[in-house]
Structure 1
Amino acid sequence: MRGIYLAGESFFEAFSVIKKGKMRKFYLLPGVINLILINLLYRLSKYVSFNIFSKLETYFNLSNYENIAFMVIKVIIIVLSFLLYFLMYKALLLIVLSPFLNYISERTERTLDNRKFEFSFRDNIRFIWRGIVISCKSFSKEMIGTLILLLLGIIPFLSLTIPFFIFLLQAYYIGFSFMDYTLERHNYSSEESLIFLKKNWVFSAFSGALFTVVFLIPLVGVFIAPLVSCVAVTLGTLKIINNEKYN
Structure 2
Amino acid sequence: MFSIREVLGAIQAYGKAHQFIKQHKLWKWIIIPGIIYCILFLLGIVFVWSYIGDLVDSLMNLLHLKQWVNSLQNSLINFLFILVGFCIRVITILLYISFFKYFFLILGAPLFAFLSEKTEAIMQHRDFPFSWSQFLKDIWRGVKISLRNMVYQTLLTIGLIILAFVPLFGLITPLLTWLVECYYWGFSMMDYTFERRQLSIPESIKYINQHKGMAIGNGLVYYLFIFIPIIAPCYAVIAATIHLQEKKIP
TM-score for both structures, normalised by structure 1: 0.88
Matched, 1:132 2:143: yes
- Correspondence 1:1-247 to 2 at 5 A: 1-58=4-61, 59=63, 61=65, 64=69, 66-216=77-227, 221-240=228-247, 242=248
1:170 & 1:68 partners in 2: Cα distance?
34
Whole-Å separation in 1 of the counterparts to 2:194 and 2:211: 13
**Structure 2 residue matching 1:222: 3-state secondary structure:** coil
Identity of aligned residues (%): 28
Structure 1 counterpart of 2:24, one-letter code: G
Per mean C-alpha deviation after superposition, the further-off stretch among 50-59 and 33-42 is: 50-59
1:200 and 1:75 map into 2 onto residues whose CA distance is 40
Q: 1:233 to 1:164 in 2, by over 3 A?
A: same
2:10 touches 2:240 (CA, 8 Å); kept in 1? Answer: yes
**C-alpha contact 1:31 1:222 (8 A) present in aligned 2:** yes
Q: CA deviation at 1:205?
A: 1.2
Aligned amino acid, residue 88 of structure 1 = F
Distance in structure 1 (CA, Å) of the matches to 2:242 and 2:18 = 11
Q: Give me the whole-angstrom Cα distance separating, in 1, the residues matched to 2:23 and 2:121.
A: 11
Bigger Cα displacement from structure 2, 110-119 vs 159-168: 159-168
Taking only aligned residues, the RMSD between alpha carbons, in angstroms, comes to: 2.0
> Which consecutive residues of structure 2, in runs of 5 or more, have no partner in the other structure?
70-75
Which amino acid in the other structure matches residue 65 of structure 2?
Answer: N
> Given the superposition, is the C-alpha separation of residues 44 and 159 from structure 1 closer, same or farther in structure 2, using an over 3 Å criterion?
farther
CA displacement at 1:156 relative to structure 2: 4.9
Larger radius of gyration: 2
How far off its partner does 1:135 sit? 0.8
- 1:167-225 Cα deviation digits (max 9, x unpaired): 22111111011101111011111111000110111110121110110221xxxx12222
Supply the distance in 1 between the matched residues of 2:167 and 2:225 (Cα, whole angstroms). 31
* Number of corresponding residues: 239
Deviation at 1:34, TM superposition (A): 0.8
Offset at 1:36?
A: 2.4
Which sits farther off after the overlay, 224-233 or 54-63? 54-63
TM-score (norm 2): 0.87
